[in-house]
Amino acid sequence: MIVTEQLANGLSVIIEEIGHVESAAYDLLIPGGLICDPSDRIGSGLIFAEMIGRGAGSLDSRALSEAFEDSGIRHGEWLGMDRFGFSGSLIASKLPRALELVALMIQEPRLPEEDIPNIQSVLLQDIAALNDNPARRVSIELSKRYYPAPFNRCSLGEAEGIRLTDRACMLNMHREMFGPQRAILSIAGKVDASKVLGELKSIFGGWQGSSIDLPEFATISPHEYTHIEVDSAQMQILMAAPSVKFAESHYYTGKIAVSLLGSSMFGRLFMELREKRGLCYSVYARHGANKSYGTVTAYVGTTPERAQESLDVLLTEFGRLRGSVTQAEVDRAKTNLKAALVMGEESPGSRASSNATDWWLLKRVRSLHEISDAISAVSIADINEFLEQFPFAPCSIVTLGRTPLQVPSDIVRSIK
Amino acid sequence: MASKFYKTALSNGLTILGEANEANVSAAIGFFVKTGARDETDLESGVSHFLEHMLFKGTPTRSAIDINLELGNLGAQANAFTSEESTVYYSAIIPENFRAMQELLSDMMRPLLDPEEFAMEKKVILEEIALYQDRPHFYLFENAFKDYFGQHPAGNSVLGSHESVSALSRDVMKSYFDRRYSPSNIVLAATGNFSWESFVSDAERLCGGWENFSVLRDTPRYAGKSGKRNILRKNLSQSHAVLITSGACAQDPERYPLSLLANILGDSSGSRLYWALIDKGLADSASVDNDERDGTGCFSTYVSTSPERLDEVLSIARSVLASPLDFSEADLERAKSKIVSRIVLDGELPMGRLMALGMEWSYRRESTPLSVIVERVQNVSRGDIEGALKRFPLNEWSEYRLLPE
């Protein structure tokens, strides 16, 4: 059973009762995030997401941390592209305590000035460590080139922005963004919805503050190939092309089309690159979408001498999908999407998060039935029509490794 | 609804375990083979993991593509992993496809080891080895454990090297399979929403014909050693270090107090190393782990930081480790809360229970209900930790540093 309600202060609340579990999970989303960092302080949101756990109300940093741990609450405060998130999972009886602590953090964070240099130091180390993680680095390098500003920001922030962030910047962020009006609190697990709703009203009812408008998304114009020279054992190859947005009617068509290529085990890329040619260990294609844009990304990691063939086969598979899709493939993709849906149903964490995401993007929660029907309805004709609209070319490609590759000029317009 | 626990064995020695709960919307099923890198000779280095891949590459009645497509048709979330001591094949599955999944997995357990598929998959394994070469943390651990354990098999590499895997032949793999994949060395387990009766009768039909033979593993305790070694690497931005000493093995009751101590010292948040290193911005990562192996164990501490700070970070870590009993009763209770919460949450989904059930039987030939495990954690006292420290004093460390060349 799912209960939704908007509290008097504007906070949207979603509660799902799951009968056969002992745990519960929460997700609180507040508009903000990396795209809202001041342009000369990119990374300040990351510092804020760290700072907000360092003491609130009468609890100093250590006392707050211990309050969560005393109740065995696994929690995380994080920064996304367009939101701040507060997530946790716990034994269900600890839910009121968890919510009290979250409410304290968002309303009365201490934001201790003396902790800022320590957090800056760890975040700067994370940036330095990116050089030691080629797979993560290629993804950041691609986003930087593919998306329009500010959606192309590095998820680790920028060194200069991190260094310049001070407590005044933190206080600003809290004042401007941390209001209930556009926030969403999603709870799932072994809970009694009406009891939790009552508790929420007393815990969050007094929360006040302003919310911000998120920046508009500009158009993507993918057309470049970039090679970054790195002396690594494997070459990282990543491509991105536009696809359908989340709320659009062809959303599940896009998801299925991409899974025909990118699913582990039975997708065409896995079959053609790994199973038939032994070119790589890791290869995938994924479909990601939100309100403003949809993206298909495809990745392969391989040793330098097999990199050109890997890219060629990957692009060939993308190019030949339209018109070659079989019913058996589509059925398999649908079965997998639906099985994942059913299996996700029993995890409070995944329910809390997917309900919150639905509300964030659609202002309502879809039933499993509705999603399942949407998946069932997709036909081969829909897929071909989708592929005509989103042909995956031109695209953007970034490679990271010893030597650049040859990329056909009809796939990317210019080679840098 | 409470789970029901079942256990039986086929006449060929295959152990079958089940924890059924009709309230679950899914089920999980897996084969746990008690074999891994430590059971390999030098000439076989990497074969356990390579063989794990080959189980997906065809049987007398199914081609590799058949297997992949069938997994897709069943909507299975299937995978496998190999460690130093275990090779596990598993899947989460919706209840209506459970029996078909059991049939498929059971067939995969008797692989064809087709020579062409063998040659093709070898390329994939070499790519996997290259992939891990680009991960400094993995590179350090691989080299550190190899050196720490010396001649003891617990330090054997799971992936093997480019050279050892290149040199592996199909015959070597076949003889390894014939030596290790006896039903008496395997556990078949299922959890969640499935029928125990049909699970067992299907197992009898599908696995009852597997020939039994005796499988041995030496499990000498490793006394540990101390020393220091630097490992150098080009183009490295962050430095990493691991300290290793002797710890409790998987069969040792003192694994409970040592695990709690590891949590107090080095959990990812709220631990003593967290407050001494991460909170202060000195390191970007710090953790402590009691690594329970079959018949031996080690206790390790890992840190990563910028190269210029490594000395300072290690010196602070060593001073924290030098006073392991410097914690309050509240610290101990907090560590218990964290561990108990993790046990309950991980045990809630069929896949979480499957792993706990299968691994526990592989190591200890027992099955402990979650409530009993929780009780054992709750009952650990400061005195128990003091007792464990008498046997495992955490004072003779082997130190390995991964530094920029």
Q: Are residues B244 and B331 in the same domain?
A: yes
Report the pLDDT averaged over residues A369-398: 95
CA distance B122 to chain A (A): 8
Q: Is the pLDDT of residue A8 over 90?
A: yes
Across the interface, do B77 and A343 touch by the CB < 8 Å criterion? yes
Report the pLDDT averaged over residues B128-138: 94
For B238, the closest chain A residue by CA position comes to: A129
Report the pLDDT averaged over residues A274-279: 96
The answer to whether residues B28 and B350 touch, using CB atoms and an 8 Å cutoff, is yes
Q: Are residues B183 and B252 in the same domain?
A: no
**Is B212 part of any domain?**
no
Last residue of some domain: B172, B207, B242? B207
Q: Is B303 helix (H, G, I), strand (E, B) or coil?
A: strand
The answer to whether residues B17 and B365 touch, using CB atoms and an 8 Å cutoff, is no
For residue range B63-80, what is the model confidence (pLDDT) as tens digits? 999 999 999 999 999 999
Distance CA B150, CA A323 (A): 58
Across the interface, do A73 and B341 touch by the CB < 8 Å criterion? yes
Lowest mean pLDDT among A76-80, B128-132, B222-226: B222-226
Q: Does B284 touch chain A (CB under 8 A)?
A: yes
**How many CB pairs (< 8 A) connect A and B?**
176
**Is B218 part of any domain?**
no
Q: Does B73 touch chain A (CB under 8 A)?
A: yes
Q: Which has the closest alpha carbon to B122: B163, B61, B71, B174?
A: B163
For residue range A159-178, what is the model confidence (pLDDT) as tens digits? 999 999 999 999 999 999 99
| CA distance readout (Å), A380 to A289, A323, A371, A391, B366 | 21, 9, 18, 15, 51
For residue range B311-332, what is the model confidence (pLDDT) as tens digits? 999 999 999 999 999 999 999 9
Q: Is the pLDDT of residue B260 over 80?
A: yes
Q: Are residues B353 and B273 in the same domain?
A: yes
Q: Does B121 touch chain A (CB under 8 A)?
A: yes
Q: Is the pLDDT of residue A272 over 50?
A: yes
Q: Is B189 helix (H, G, I), strand (E, B) or coil?
A: strand
Q: Are residues B243 and B186 in the same domain?
A: no
Q: Which has the closest alpha carbon to A22: B50, B93, B314, B374?
A: B374
The answer to whether residues B316 and B255 touch, using CB atoms and an 8 Å cutoff, is no
| CA distance readout (Å), A299 to A59, A236, A281, B72 | 45, 8, 11, 21
For residue range A182-203, what is the model confidence (pLDDT) as tens digits? 999 999 999 999 999 999 999 9
By residue range, what is the domain housing residue B383? Answer: 227-404
Interface of A with B in 68-87 (CB under 8 A): 68-74
Q: Are residues B87 and B235 in the same domain?
A: no
Q: Does B96 touch chain A (CB under 8 A)?
A: no
Across the interface, do A91 and B345 touch by the CB < 8 Å criterion? yes
What count of other Cβ atoms lies within 10 Å of the Cβ of residue A291?
Answer: 13
Across the interface, do B333 and A70 touch by the CB < 8 Å criterion? yes
Q: Are residues B346 and B310 in the same domain?
A: yes
Q: Are residues B312 and B190 in the same domain?
A: no
Lowest mean pLDDT among A152-161, A239-248, B154-163: A239-248
- Any residues with CB less than 8 A from the CB of B383 and at least 6 apart, and which? none
Distance CA B72, CA A336 (A): 7
**Residue A60 carries which side chain, given as an amino acid letter?**
D
Query: What is the structure's pLDDT at B1?
Result: 59
Going by DSSP bridges, is the β-strand pair A2-6/B87-93 parallel, antiparallel, or unpaired?
unpaired
Residues B227, B232, B236: CA angle, nearest 5 degrees? 130
Last residue of some domain: B161, B179, B207? B207
Which among A23, A275, A328 has CB closest to B345? A23
For residue range A278-309, what is the model confidence (pLDDT) as tens digits? 999 999 999 999 988 999 999 999 999 999 99
pLDDT mean across residues, chain A: 95
Report the pLDDT averaged over residues A339-345: 90
**Is B198 part of any domain?**
yes
Q: Is the pLDDT of residue A412 over 80?
A: no
What count of other Cβ atoms lies within 10 Å of the Cβ of residue B102?
Answer: 24
Q: Are residues B197 and B346 in the same domain?
A: no
Q: Please give the helix or strand (H or E) that residue B19 lies within, else none.
A: strand B15-20
Q: Are residues B171 and B103 in the same domain?
A: yes
The answer to whether residues A89 and A349 touch, using CB atoms and an 8 Å cutoff, is yes
Q: Which has the closest alpha carbon to A207: A224, A229, A185, A190?
A: A185
Q: Provide the token pair at A110.
A: 């201490």
Query: What is the structure's pLDDT at B384?
Result: 98
Instruction: Give me the CATH number covering residue B193.
Output: 3.30.830.10
**Is B221 part of any domain?**
no
Last residue of some domain: B207, B236, B263? B207
Which among B124, B281, B330 has CB closest to A122? B281
Q: Is the pLDDT of residue A118 over 70?
A: yes
Across the interface, do A74 and B342 touch by the CB < 8 Å criterion? yes
Q: Provide the token pair at B208.
A: 């009852």
CA distance A118 to chain B (A): 4
Query: What is the structure's pLDDT at B83?
Result: 97
Q: Are residues B125 and B268 in the same domain?
A: no
- Identify any residues that bridge with B192 across adjacent strands, giving them in sequence order: B20, B27
Task: Output A413 or A343, whichever has higher pLDDT.
Answer: A343
Q: For chain B, how many structural domains are there in total?
A: 2
Across the interface, do B124 and A278 touch by the CB < 8 Å criterion? yes
Interface of A with B in 21-40 (CB under 8 A): 21-23
For A342, the closest chain B residue by CA position comes to: B25
Across the interface, do B72 and A70 touch by the CB < 8 Å criterion? no
**Torsions phi, psi for A46 (to 5 deg):** -65, -40
Q: Are residues B192 and B231 in the same domain?
A: no
Label residue B150 left, alpha or beta by phi (over 0 means left) and psi (-120 to 50 means alpha). left
Report the pLDDT averaged over residues A14-24: 93
Distance CA A8, CA A31 (A): 19
Q: Are residues B203 and B154 in the same domain?
A: yes
pLDDT tier at A407, thresholds 50, 70, 90: very high
Across the interface, do A121 and B77 touch by the CB < 8 Å criterion? no
The answer to whether residues B271 and B260 touch, using CB atoms and an 8 Å cutoff, is no
Report the pLDDT averaged over residues B359-374: 93
**Is B154 part of any domain?**
yes
The answer to whether residues A262 and B106 touch, using CB atoms and an 8 Å cutoff, is no
**Is B215 part of any domain?**
no
Q: Is B113 helix (H, G, I), strand (E, B) or coil?
A: coil
Q: Is the pLDDT of residue A413 over 80?
A: no
Query: What is the structure's pLDDT at B306?
Result: 96
Report the pLDDT averaged over residues A210-230: 89
pLDDT tier at A416, thresholds 50, 70, 90: very low
pLDDT mean across residues, chain B: 96
CA distance B64 to chain A (A): 8
| CA distance readout (Å), B16 to A324, B23, B190, B401 | 44, 21, 8, 44
Across the interface, do B284 and A23 touch by the CB < 8 Å criterion? no
Across the interface, do A21 and B348 touch by the CB < 8 Å criterion? yes
Interface of B with A in 358-397 (CB under 8 A): none
CA distance A274 to chain B (A): 7
